[in-house]
Amino acid sequence: MRDADAARADGLSTRAVHAGAPSPVPDAPVVQPVFQTTTFYTAAEPAAAVRYTRYGTNPNHEALGVKLAALEGGEAALVVASGNAAMMLALLTLVSAGDGVLAQRELYGGTLRLLLRELPRLGIETTLLPFDGDWAGGMTDRTRAVLTEVPINPTIRVPDLPAITAAAGARGIPVIVDATFATPINLRPLEHGATLVVHSATKYLGGHSDVTAGVIVGRADLVAEAREKLISFGPVLDPHAAWLLDRGVKTLAARMTVHNANGLAIARRLAAHTAIEHVDYPGLEMHADHERARTLLAGFGGMIGIVVRGGDAAAVRMLERLRLMRVAPSLGGVETLVSMPRYTSHAALPRAERHALGIADGYVRLSIGIEDADDLIRDLEAALDG
Ligand SMILES: Cc1ncc(COP(=O)(O)O)c(C=O)c1O
């Protein structure tokens, strides 16, 4: 196997293809097979830790761990059954009863569920603040983890990650970053002082809308602790799903190049369209965080938020007229998917709270795929003009 040390000298595309891949010895397979097995033979008296798929030590898990750690520049990585499982295990690695979590209020709804519904039942208190609020002032003696999402779903705002990690670092508090929208191609949070990176690998890492998975990357001791939580709670990734994810990650860098280019081209075109009131895309000069995005991100990604003039009814009419883009929640796949956050990720919130998060009436989120940008633009313009 091409190990993490060798991979560190490689570029990101090379790491995506080769890190964790089988050693090129004669008759070995070029592609690691699926180890579709729950368990592995041992000696009657095992000399080392036994392998067991639920422990995340199936070879398909381990190969992916090497690849993802190499891509993020972390010591180790753990793959689990979903993004939400990864977030829960990351949080439980850092916090226990009596501790507090300081998080931004603009988070994926499923993360807010964990923070506000589940953690309090375990005696863990969450304090929320606006992503551009006073992080240092929000930290107390109880705070044992700081949590941010970069960029933010669905407004693509870009928190000041170096400032957040500096404030937390000054108090020795670890920082978890959900970098699902960025992927390691556009942002590697560990380089900016983060402690653990979490991804919903269901999105860009898998890239084909066919695998549900999650990832935790960071220091080896913390990832080992997260594995202990995996062993206890059991949200393991099935080996075949791990194999599919591995295949998806191999093309991550190539796909992100197209997502970044398509996102920018389409955001620019939408910004000039009279049926659109507003476009949220950090690659546009008018975006509130454009300057920060330029320094922090290697690419602006494929996620765009738009406000359709005429409110929700006009937005629904536009969605109904699309012929190439499909209406579905989720994101990060090769195909363009669009959705209205008020019916999906932010359905549980009252209108005023949605507005406070920047989700106006008529808000549509676009996950731009890798189709030809001209075809996507034609589809959007026909739907808007129709
Ligand atoms: C930013 C972000 N983080 C985490 C998740 C949760 O991922 P999963 O659906 O794989 O559990 C999502 C899902 O949409 C997301 O958008």
151 lines ligand 1 (CB under 6 A): no
106 lines ligand 1 (CB under 6 A): no
Rounded to whole angstroms, how far apart are CA atoms 225 and 80? 14
- Verdict on whether the full-model pTM lies above 0.95: yes
Rounded to whole angstroms, how far apart are CA atoms 116 and 353? 15
Per-residue model confidence as pLDDT tens for the chain (386 residues): 656 566 778 999 999 999 999 899 999 999 999 999 999 999 999 999 999 999 999 999 999 999 999 999 999 999 999 999 999 999 999 999 999 999 999 999 899 999 999 999 999 999 999 999 999 999 999 999 999 999 999 999 999 999 999 999 999 999 999 999 999 999 999 999 999 999 999 999 999 999 999 999 999 999 999 999 999 999 999 999 999 999 999 999 999 999 999 999 999 999 999 999 999 999 999 999 999 999 999 999 999 999 999 999 999 999 999 999 999 999 999 999 999 999 998 888 899 989 988 999 999 999 999 999 999 999 999 999 98
Distance 5 CA to ligand 1 centre (A): 30
- DSSP-assigned beta bridge partners for residue 143: 100
Distance 182 CA to ligand 1 centre (A): 13
The separation between the first and the last C-alpha atoms of the chain, rounded to the nearest angstrom, is 54
Q: Which of 2, 15, 157, 203 is catalytic?
A: 203
What is the residue with the minimal CA distance to atom 12 of ligand 1? 200
Catalytic site includes residue 178: yes
Please report the DSSP string for 334-381 in residue order: SS-EEE-GGGTTTTTS-HHHHHHTT--TTEEEEE--SS-HHHHHHHHH
Rounded to whole angstroms, how far apart are CA atoms 140 and 136? 9
Sequence-ordered alpha helix ranges (H) in 106-219: 109-113, 135-138, 161-170, 183-186
Distance 215 CA to ligand 1 centre (A): 11
Rounded to whole angstroms, how far apart are CA atoms 41 and 283? 52
202 lines ligand 1 (CB under 6 A): yes
Rounded to whole angstroms, how far apart are CA atoms 82 and 211? 9
Q: Which atom of ligand 1 is nearest to the CA of 201?
A: 10
Whether the CB-CB separation of 192 and 316 falls below 8 Å is answered with no
**SS3 state at 145:** strand
Rounded to whole angstroms, how far apart are CA atoms 33 and 190? 31
Distance 346 CA to ligand 1 centre (A): 13
Phi and psi angles of residue 169, each rounded to the nearest 5 degrees, phi first: -60, -35
214 lines ligand 1 (CB under 6 A): yes
Catalytic site includes residue 54: yes
